[in-house]
Amino acid sequence: NQENLLNPLRPSRMPNTWSFATLLSLISVLGFLNDAQAASVKQTASLQKTILLKNESPSPYLEKVVEVKWSSLDNGKEKLDTAKLIVMDKGTKEQVPVQFETFGDSAIRNLLIQVDVPAKQSKEFVVTYGVRKPIETKTFGRYVPERKEDFAWENDKIAFRMYGKELEKTPSEMGLGMDVWVKRVSRMILNERYKRGEYHIDHGDGMDYYHVGMTMGAGNMAPFVNDSIVASKNYVSYKVLDNGPLRTSFQLFYDEWAVGTKKVKATKTYSLDAGSQLNKITVQYSPYSDSGIPVVAGIVKRQGTDTLNIDTAQGTVAYWEPKHGQDGITGVAVILNNPNVQPFIKNGQILLKTTTDKSHSITYYAGAVWDKAGRITDARQWTEYVKTFKQQLDIPVIVR
């Protein structure tokens, strides 16, 4: 009890008799603790690692969420203190937003940073210790049991939802595809909208006017057999993997259903980054055959004056819908980042047909934009955004 040793006027709770050896041992222990604390402070002050990002694409990376493998920063021996870790732009000396991605595990998989990197240029960032500035939440998602088991998610640009099993009990509201909730504010709005229950009225933050019905909506995917879409019913369970502030990822699980003469199950993994209009979506089907499963990703096509840009070689569709009265215009896009894409229109849907790999998995991108958000306001800009997005998938930022 160090306090009692240093304060002889305080009644001692120690034994009345102390040997000289005991006192020396106690003093040695106290000295060891002070040395350990000093070493810890020194280690904290000395952390200095550099991240080099190189953009070899002809377009700038703006608000880009970049993955830095955690194992490249911490080999397991250093045990970096994540509570004190900050990342600073070496040029501006300003902190950049960070997130520690676990992908549903207990261990960190990636350090996520949100940065700008000019076209054909490199930038350096310093990883060190300091007082981390508060980070604005830019992505969020959750299960919504109070609204028939929706799963809804958003970032600072746009919002989406998928329908749960409970909705199947209300056939008039039934939907199969991915829904879009347009927004014009950067703050998270899902909880506000569900609380007030007026999705179809714009209270200054956007609204829900996108109609899905029994279609693929804004980019859902399903098997395509015998010239027909063979969609599952709605998801039955979910798992949140990461939930902001820069990336929200989750999985939706689907019960077995008949696809031709086979039975399959599916797991869909969604990932939405801050600043992005498009989701990364990976669909994993259960064993089907020794080869891949034919699938389509689809967008519902509206009646009226619209603009459709299909690039078969790049596997992209950029669709600018007709104006929806006073509500504005939605742009929807799908990118299949793999070869052998066959686009076509059938039964009021724009479909991109391809095949999963031999493990029955496929990754693609889908999402939307709203003209009233002010970021992208016409078909040309939307087509250019999709083109640039695909270009940067093909030429990813180099991380060293």
The pLDDT-based confidence of 1 (bands split at 50, 70, 90) is: very low
385 and 369 in contact (C-beta within 8 Å)?
Answer: yes
58 preceded by a cis bond (ω within 30 of 0): no
4 and 10 in contact (C-beta within 8 Å)?
Answer: yes
Output DSSP code: residue 300.
Answer: E
Rounded Cα gap, residues 79 and 75, in angstroms: 8
For the stretch 52-67, pLDDT in tens is 999 999 999 999 999 9
Rounded Cα gap, residues 169 and 355, in angstroms: 32
Q: Over range 71-80, report the average pLDDT.
A: 87
Total-model pTM: 0.88
Rounded Cα gap, residues 341 and 343, in angstroms: 6
For the stretch 118-133, pLDDT in tens is 999 999 999 999 999 9
Q: Over range 93-116, report the average pLDDT.
A: 97
Inter-CA distances, 147 with 167, 191, 197, 200, 209, Å: 9, 11, 9, 15, 17
Q: Over range 277-305, report the average pLDDT.
A: 92
Q: What percent of the chain has pLDDT over 90?
A: 80
- Could you identify the residue written with the tokens 């007082």? 131
If one compares 76 and 181, the residue with the highest pLDDT of the two is 181
Q: Which two tokens stand for residue 16?
A: 């009345």
Per-residue confidence (pLDDT) for residue 17, from 0 to 100:
46
Check whether 7 has a pLDDT greater than 80. Answer: no
Provide the greatest CA pair distance for the chain. Answer: 96
176 and 296 in contact (C-beta within 8 Å)?
Answer: no
If one compares 174 and 195, the residue with the highest pLDDT of the two is 195
For the stretch 330-358, pLDDT in tens is 999 999 987 789 999 999 999 999 999 98
Check whether 46 has a pLDDT greater than 80. Answer: no
Per-residue confidence (pLDDT) for residue 124, from 0 to 100:
98
- Residues 286-292: contacts with CB within 8 Å, 24+ apart? 286/256, 286/360, 287/360, 288/259, 288/262, 288/264, 288/360, 289/262, 290/358, 291/355, 291/358, 292/355, 292/356, 292/357, 292/358, 292/360
If one compares 292 and 393, the residue with the highest pLDDT of the two is 393
Which among 177, 107, 108, 188 is positioned nearest to 141, based on CA atoms?
188
Q: Over range 89-102, report the average pLDDT.
A: 97
Round the average pLDDT of the chain to a whole number and report it. 89
As a dihedral over the C-alpha atoms of residue 316, residue 65, residue 139, residue 164, rounded to 10 degrees, the angle is 40
Q: Over range 205-220, report the average pLDDT.
A: 95
